[in-house]
Amino acid sequence: MMQQPPLIDPFARAVTYLRVSVTDRCDFRCVYCMAENMTFLPKKDLLTLEELDRLCSAFIGLGVRKLRITGGEPLVRRDILTFFRAMGRHLDSGALDELTVTTNGSQLEKHAAALWEAGVRRVNVSLDTLDPDKFARVTRWGRLDQVRRGIEAAQAAGLRVKINTVALKGVNEDELFDLVDWCAAQDMDLTFIEVMPMGDLGNDYRVDQYWSVRDVRARLEDRFTTVDLAERTGGPARYVRLAETGQKIGFITPLSHNFCESCNRVRVTCTGELYMCLGQEDRADLRAPLRAHPGDDGALIGAIRTAIAAKPKGHDFDYSRQRADGQVSRHMSHTGG
């Protein structure tokens, strides 16, 4: 692959991490991510697997070293393992350092071994509760036992599993230590994420859901000794190690602590929209140059560079005034979880 000059945004941040949504569809309807009755995009609007390959390969040629595949639920897309196998060539060449996936875990029992064979070594599984009834309420359509089997299959295949838990007031506050203990017993890292003001669920609803990860950490420190880690995995999480268990705990705090100063990532939706910031509405259309020039990526690369030149300094998410300030209208499932 011809290596191009790297992508540098206006604030001298190198863009080396790309998150790509391959579908807006999901077999769950998590209350903070999607409405229960969603209208999904027509197939013609989605990038084909071949177009996703071209797009991701263009970014890799521009210096992206980490590629995370998201959705919706990425593993419900038909023939998606074909795309993972295609991206494996960039791992083999050394152009790409890591290929990862964020999943709800529902399809891991079926696909874990194939993901390993394609070059995936780590998966993030979104899991907010260990209570089956509560899990059914949070996900609306999900079954906890299916997800737990998927996690077991992933570990059996050799994949390193990290659990992502959205901190939800009145939902999983009482499970904080249960989640920590369970992840420690399963040798899994755990990251807590603040709920973000995205979608059309309304400001009051978001504020009612919001449980500050600062408070999560403070409660953990009532029981454990936390040791700050300099480690970064390419994303926004900040990590500590629990001295008593040795496990790693991450915190993603877009509301209580803005992490934008070190942002190295951008997101592409399943329709080819490039969002330079998760918390802003500015976007660039990459599908048009992809489809207008099927045999030449020059226009696509130009569109990418133009977009990165407009990457903002940060987002405006804020709950401090008891409103979901900085709210964006699109659902998280559209941008990519």
How many domains is the chain built from?
A: 1
> What's the pLDDT score for residue 325?
45
Portion of the chain with pLDDT greater than 90, in percent: 71
Inform me whether the pLDDT recorded for 216 exceeds 80: yes
**Cis link prior to 72 (omega < 30° from 0)?**
yes
Q: Which domain holds residue 185?
A: 17-335
Inform me whether the pLDDT recorded for 335 exceeds 50: yes
* CA distance linking residue 337 with residue 333, whole number of Å: 6
Q: Which residues pair with 21 in a beta bridge?
A: 70
8 exposure class (CB count in 10 Å sphere: 0-12, 13-18, 19+): middle
Cα 203 versus chain centre, distance: 23
Cβ-contact 102, 115 below 8 angstroms: no
- Cα-Cα-Cα-Cα dihedral of 104, 41, 51, 295, to 10°? -170
Q: Which two tokens stand for residue 223?
A: 């029981």
Give strand ranges (E) for 104-196. 122-126, 160-167, 189-194
The CATH number of residue 281's host domain is: 3.20.20.70
Decide if 9 is inside a domain.
Answer: no
Cβ-contact 266, 15 below 8 angstroms: yes
- The string of DSSP letters for 225-282 reads -EEE-----SSS-EEEEETTT--EEEEE-TTTS--GGG--EEEE-TTSEEES-TT---
Binding residues for S-adenosyl-L-methionine: 32, 72, 126, 196
> What's the pLDDT score for residue 90?
98
Decide if 54 is inside a domain.
Answer: yes
Decide if 12 is inside a domain.
Answer: no
Q: Which two tokens stand for residue 121?
A: 């070594």
Decide if 106 is inside a domain.
Answer: yes
> What's the pLDDT tens digit per position in 248-305?
999 988 654 455 777 889 999 999 999 988 667 789 999 999 999 998 999 999 999 9
Q: Which two tokens stand for residue 113?
A: 């071994």
Decide if 238 is inside a domain.
Answer: yes
Mean pLDDT for the stretch of residues 52-56? 98
> What's the pLDDT score for residue 229?
94
Cβ-contact 209, 168 below 8 angstroms: yes
Inform me whether the pLDDT recorded for 180 exceeds 80: yes
3-state secondary structure 321-336: CCCCECCECCCHHHHC
Binding residues for [4Fe-4S] cluster: 26, 30, 33, 260, 263, 277
Mean pLDDT for the stretch of residues 238-242? 94
Mean pLDDT for the stretch of residues 216-235? 88
> What's the pLDDT tens digit per position in 58-89?
999 999 999 999 999 999 999 999 999 999 99
* CA distance linking residue 87 with residue 273, whole number of Å: 20
Binding residues for GTP: 19, 68, 102, 162, 265-267
Portion of the chain with pLDDT greater than 70, in percent: 85
Q: Kindly state the helix (H) or strand (E) to which residue 67 belongs, with its residue range.
A: strand 66-70
Decide if 38 is inside a domain.
Answer: yes
103: confidence class by pLDDT, cuts 50, 70, 90: very high
Decide if 295 is inside a domain.
Answer: yes
Cβ-contact 56, 87 below 8 angstroms: yes
- Give the chain's mean pLDDT: 88
> What's the pLDDT score for residue 320?
44
Decide if 37 is inside a domain.
Answer: yes
List the one residue out of 251, 292, 73 whose CA is nearest residue 162. 251
